[in-house]
Amino acid sequence: MSPTTTGFVTAPDGVRLHYESMGDGAGLVVAPNAIYLWDELAPLARSRRVVCFDLRNRGQSDATDTGGILEDVNDTVAVISHFTDGPVDVIGHSFAGLLVALVARHHASRVRKAVMIGALGMDPNREFAPPLSNRDETFDRVMRGLGALLPRRGEYEPEAFCRAAWDVLRPLYVTDPADAHRIRWGRCELPNERSAMRYFNAVTLPSIRALTLTAGDFALVQSPMLIVHGNKDRSAPYGGGREWAMALPNARLLTVDGAGHAPWIEDRERVLPAIASFLDGTWPDGAEQVTSLVPAMDEGQ
* pLDDT tens per residue across span 113-151: 999 999 999 999 999 999 999 999 999 999 999 999 999
* pLDDT tens per residue across span 3-13: 689 999 999 99
As a dihedral over the C-alpha atoms of residue 207, residue 227, residue 225, residue 122, rounded to 10 degrees, the angle is -30
Q: At 86, is the pLDDT very low, low, confident or very high (cuts 50, 70, 90)?
A: very high
Residue 4's CB is within 10 A of a number of other CB atoms, namely 13
pLDDT at 301 over 90: no
Which pLDDT does position 300 carry in this prediction?
39
Q: At 296, is the pLDDT very low, low, confident or very high (cuts 50, 70, 90)?
A: confident
Which one has a higher pLDDT value, 1 or 190? 190
pLDDT at 72 over 80: yes
Q: What percent of the chain has pLDDT over 90?
A: 96
pLDDT at 298 over 90: no
Q: Are 261 and 230 a contacting pair, CB within 8 Å?
A: yes
Q: Are 226 and 278 a contacting pair, CB within 8 Å?
A: yes
Containing H/E element for 92? strand 88-93
Which pLDDT does position 2 carry in this prediction?
64
Going from N- to C-terminal start, the domains of the chain cover 5-127+206-298, 137-194
* pLDDT tens per residue across span 53-71: 999 999 999 999 999 999 9
Distance CA 183, CA 235 (A): 14
Which pLDDT does position 42 carry in this prediction?
95
Which pLDDT does position 299 carry in this prediction?
42
Pick the CATH number of 5-127+206-298 from 3.40.190.80, 2.40.50.100, 3.40.50.1820, 3.90.1580.10: 3.40.50.1820
Indicate the pairing of strand 48-53 with strand 5-10. Answer: unpaired
Indicate the pairing of strand 16-22 with strand 5-10. Answer: antiparallel
Identify residue 46 by its one-letter amino acid code.
R
